[in-house]
């Protein structure tokens, strides 16, 4: 039973570029959340997708956008990259039901030069 998979593992971009990160949820999960983890901090919620719609959003600018596909996989897009966007980006999937933990992928390490 495959868990949450993310690609790519690492990515290096320059300021102003655009990036797309991908996530496949754990089998049986229909809800995907994205988090940004900067050094020394806990993961910060970006947004959550359910039934191909953005259901909830954190305090991130519109440069951060996402998509969920009919097979529940998801993409995170970031436009006009800034140095401050350098971070580990985690994808988590769940059933979206109460009292259930979220299952995380290994993350994508994004470095902006």
Partner 1 sequence: ILNVEQSPQSLHVQEGDSTNFTCSFPSSNFYALHWYRWETAKSPEALFVMTLNGDEKKKGRISATLNTKEGYSYLYIKGSQPEDSATYLCALPTGWNQGGKLIFGQGTELSVKP
Record the tokens describing residue 28, joined without a space.
């049986």
For partner 1, which is the closer residue by CB, 81 or 89?
89
In angstroms, give the least distance from the CB of 74 to partner 1: 15
Minimum distance, C-beta of residue 17 to partner 1, in the bound complex (Å): 26
Residue with tokens 């994205």: 34
Torsion sign, CA atoms 76, 71, 23, 52? positive
With a CB cutoff of 8 Å and minimum separation 6, the contacts of 83 are 15, 112
* Closer to partner 1 by Cβ: residue 78 or 94: 94
Contact footprint for partner 1 (CB under 8 A): 3-4, 31, 33, 35, 40-45, 48, 50, 55-56, 58, 90, 92, 94-107
């Amino acid at each position: 039973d495959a868990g949450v998979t993310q690609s790519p593992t690492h990515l290096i971009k320059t300021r102003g570029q655009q990036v797309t990160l991908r996530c496949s949820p754990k089998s049986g999960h229909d809800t995907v959340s994205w988090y940004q983890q900067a050094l020394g901090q806990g993961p910060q919620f970006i947004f959550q997708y359910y039934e191909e719609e953005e259901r909830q959003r954190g305090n991130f600018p519109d440069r951060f956008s996402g998509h969920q596909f009919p097979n529940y996989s998801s993409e995170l897009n970031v436009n006009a990259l800034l140095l401050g966007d350098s971070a580990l980006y985690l994808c988590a999937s769940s059933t979206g039901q109460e009292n259930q933990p979220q299952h995380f992928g290994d993350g994508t390490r994004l470095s902006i030069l």
